[in-house]
């Protein structure tokens, strides 16, 4: 059977070099070496270096490797919040961070919008004593993008609070000014085209200080996964636990491939592919882009309402070997979601658009 | 360069079928499929089924997939303990569980022994109001094995408490009666010979009830990774987050290979390899088994004191392509640690013993 092409919003198609890197990993015995060996430390440092170069991350920020973005939601609450966090909620994933804070018996506040829209980002609506402000660059469930300019405006107004940015299906395609925020995280099965099982957490010096302050005030910030411990080990190119060394290795290799291609080229292609996809969705009689405000449309995850059951178009494409995503949660059966990640070539997106046009 | 053979106590040599399963995974696009697809659910169920068959796990116990044993230490404290846990502490890893409870501001108690020895396992020493009793089947830092019979004696005396067993470098080689305990966990880079990045947590119905009771009493047991949520998703063959689907797939395949070989054969070989290794260590003029009481010696991780620097023997073996482990923590440079996991053939252990004899 020929392989399918996955346009699902994560897990998605592997980055096109992953198979070759997996073979190299077997040869270098990446999966067998000790996670505290010089060889593993070199992988950690190379991956950190490549990510910093690729996304222009300030030198004094730390790159940490955890298991998933889900874990990093918890770690941020543990380390940064004693009582008050503020969450922009506009879809399944941005809502979830708020829900975590509730489950952890904190006192979170939020600004909400219906699925497909963005909440009011006026920074005056955020209480001045908020410890942590959270938003998702890309709401993967709805295809809404949070404009980076709005983040920088919030930063100007709230200099004391930490700002945490969910970059899950946006980075490295979205051009984020890391120096304006304190905590950025993503998982690797989206834009980086890697097998799931690794979360990346990038923290500012201020974020690290905030965790230390909370600890010094006598509160628990967790144990081995407490931020000061993670940072202490990261300085040695190590994790506090036996990490997914293969995942770190593959991420470093793929980030290196992206550097070679050039982030500008990747972003340029993303704009082209996105424009083509939304044009296709707009022209199709049975499809309507879910996000009506064009400047809020994600470049990497396009979502559309279907006039009938979404399974018709999903199944028709699957029969041709192309797998697209279903609507999320209550939108299952009513929407389609299409990823155009860096591994998806212009030609693949053109093929997909052609096939959609023919349906 | 020819590949090295890793006898390190984890990460260690890959199970000898892993490379072939990785190729199959690429072909089946295991790393690209949605983690909530029927295909991923089938992998989850197959892995659960194979693990249950391999280790004779009761049908009503649940098999859950997390990121590491380190994470599972935290999850157990979150879900099972409101105040009092009791920990057998006799090495770096068994001590760590106690340290986690301290970091989480609980009130743990412990029974301690110096490295290389076992604490007094008299169950009368455990306070009767203890909520959770913990021990490691194999203390990977020292090579001390906790006799399963002692666990069953503790069970008889403490019927109310939950018993949590760290099976990290012991399972599936150690024959554990799961019905006598409530929470068993291990990571896959030891006896299962898999790349790190997956932790397996097996829980009894009583353990699940304990977590629900803690939640109902108004306390936080975490969020998406709270045990009732994990169990609810496990019933559908799913995780609560985007799991390491490749890891779950590979574990299922390797557990299947082990079933085919037969657990009795694996355990029989383990006894032979272990006897040969300890004999070799005892005969060597420069080496002395660290664990003096023979019935406490681990079958899968043999530890020996070296009369001089341990780097002499480690480097000599490395020059021949065989990688053994160094002493842990303060014993680095003073001890060697040798894994004999199921992937290590009798011939490989004989080769290693021969080379040690010649040093």
Which among A155, A160, A195, A196 has a CA at the least distance from the CA of A71?
A196
Per-residue pLDDT, averaged over B148-167, amounts to 98
pLDDT of residue B45: 98
pLDDT of residue A243: 93
Look up tokens 């690209």; give the residue.
B32
Question: Residue B255 — very low, low, confident or very high, per pLDDT cuts 50/70/90?
Answer: very high
Q: Please state whether beta strands A322-323 and A5-6 pair in parallel, antiparallel, or not at all (unpaired).
A: parallel
Cα(A296)–Cα(A90) distance, rounded to whole angstroms?
12
For A338, the token pair is 């299409």
pLDDT of residue B134: 98
Chain segment B22-56, per-residue pLDDT in tens = 999 999 999 999 999 999 999 999 999 999 999 99
In chain B, positions 100-119, which contact chain A (CB-CB < 8 Å)?
100, 103-105
Per-residue pLDDT, averaged over B70-95, amounts to 97
| Residue B1 reports pLDDT greater than 90 | no
Angle at B50 between CA B48 and CA B53, to 5 degrees: 110
Cβ contact (<8 Å) for A246 and B33? no
Chain segment B339-350, per-residue pLDDT in tens = 999 999 999 999
pLDDT, mean over chain B:
97
Whole-Å CA distances, B145 to A337, B156, B163, B168, B348 = 52, 20, 17, 12, 23
Residue A222 contacts B, CB cutoff 8 Å: yes
Task: Give ipTM to 2 decimals.
Answer: 0.96
Shortest CA distance from A100: residue in chain B = B223
| Residue B2 reports pLDDT greater than 90 | no
Cα(A301)–Cα(B97) distance, rounded to whole angstroms?
42
A64 bridge partner residues: A201
Cβ contact (<8 Å) for B73 and A223? yes
Cβ contact (<8 Å) for A241 and B71? yes
pLDDT of residue A1: 72
Residue B224 contacts A, CB cutoff 8 Å: yes
Cα(B222)–Cα(A173) distance, rounded to whole angstroms?
32
- Using an 8 Å CB-CB cutoff, list chain B residues near A96: 224
In chain B, positions 315-334, which contact chain A (CB-CB < 8 Å)?
325
pLDDT of residue A2: 86
For residue A33, the distance in angstroms to the closest alpha carbon of chain B comes to: 6
Which among B319, B331, B325 has a CA at the least distance from the CA of B344?
B325
- Using an 8 Å CB-CB cutoff, list chain A residues near B100: 223-224
Residue segments in chain A with a per-residue pLDDT below the cut of 70: none
| Residue B11 reports pLDDT greater than 90 | yes
Shortest CA distance from B13: residue in chain A = A32
Residue B275 contacts A, CB cutoff 8 Å: no
Shortest CA distance from B106: residue in chain A = A220
Cα(A156)–Cα(B155) distance, rounded to whole angstroms?
59
Alpha helix stretches (DSSP H) within A239-303: 245-261, 263-283
Nearest to A32 among B13, B99, B244 (CB): B13
- Are A46 and A224 in contact by the 8 Å Cβ rule? The answer is no
In chain A, positions 189-218, which contact chain B (CB-CB < 8 Å)?
189, 194-198
Look up tokens 């029974």; give the residue.
B111
Per-residue pLDDT, averaged over B217-234, amounts to 95
Residue B16 contacts A, CB cutoff 8 Å: no
- Using an 8 Å CB-CB cutoff, list chain B residues near A26: 19, 22
Domains of chain A (ranges plus CATH)?
A: 5-13+263-358 (3.90.1150.10), 18-260 (3.40.640.10)
For residue B188, the distance in angstroms to the closest alpha carbon of chain A comes to: 10
Cβ contact (<8 Å) for B32 and A6? yes
């Amino acid at each position: 059977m020929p392989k399918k092409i996955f346009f699902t919003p994560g897990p998605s198609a592997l980055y096109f070099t992953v198979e070759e890197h997996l073979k190299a990993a077997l040869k270098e015995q990446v999966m067998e070496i000790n996670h505290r060996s010089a060889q593993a430390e070199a992988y950690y440092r190379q991956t950190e270096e490549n990510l910093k170069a690729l996304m222009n991350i300030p030198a004094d920020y730390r790159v940490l490797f955890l298991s998933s973005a889900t874990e990093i939601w918890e770690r941020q609450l543990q380390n940064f919040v004693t009582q008050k966090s503020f969450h922009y909620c506009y879809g399944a994933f941005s809502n979830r961070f708020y829900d975590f804070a509730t489950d952890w018996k904190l006192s979170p506040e939020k600004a909400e919008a219906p699925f497909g829209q963005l909440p009011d980002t006026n920074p005056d609506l955020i209480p001045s004593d908020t410890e942590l402000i959270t938003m998702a660059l890309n709401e993967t469930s709805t295809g809404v993008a949070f404009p980076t300019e709005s983040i920088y405006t919030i930063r100007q107004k709230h200099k004391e609070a930490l700002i945490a940015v969910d970059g899950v299906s946006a980075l490295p395609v979205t051009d984020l000014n890391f120096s304006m925020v304190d905590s950025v995280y993503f998982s690797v099965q989206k834009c980086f085209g890697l097998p799931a099982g690794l979360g990346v957490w990038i923290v500012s010096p201020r974020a690290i200080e905030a965790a230390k302050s909370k600890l010094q005030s006598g509160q628990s910030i967790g144990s081995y996964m407490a931020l000061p411990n993670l940072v202490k080990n990261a300085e040695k190119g190590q994790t506090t636990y036996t990490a997914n060394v293969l995942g770190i290795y593959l991420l470093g290799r793929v980030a290196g491939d992206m550097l070679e291609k050039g982030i500008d080229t990747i972003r340029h292609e993303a704009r082209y592919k996105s424009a083509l996809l939304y044009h296709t969705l707009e022209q199709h009689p049975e499809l309507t882009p879910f996000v009506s405000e064009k400047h809020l449309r994600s470049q990497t995850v396009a979502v559309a309402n279907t006039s009938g059951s979404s399974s018709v178009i999903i199944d028709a494409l699957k029969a041709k070997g192309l797998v697209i995503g279903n609507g999320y949660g209550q939108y299952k059966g009513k929407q389609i979601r299409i990823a155009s990640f860096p591994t998806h070539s212009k030609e693949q997106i053109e093929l997909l658009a052609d096939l959609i046009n023919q349906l």
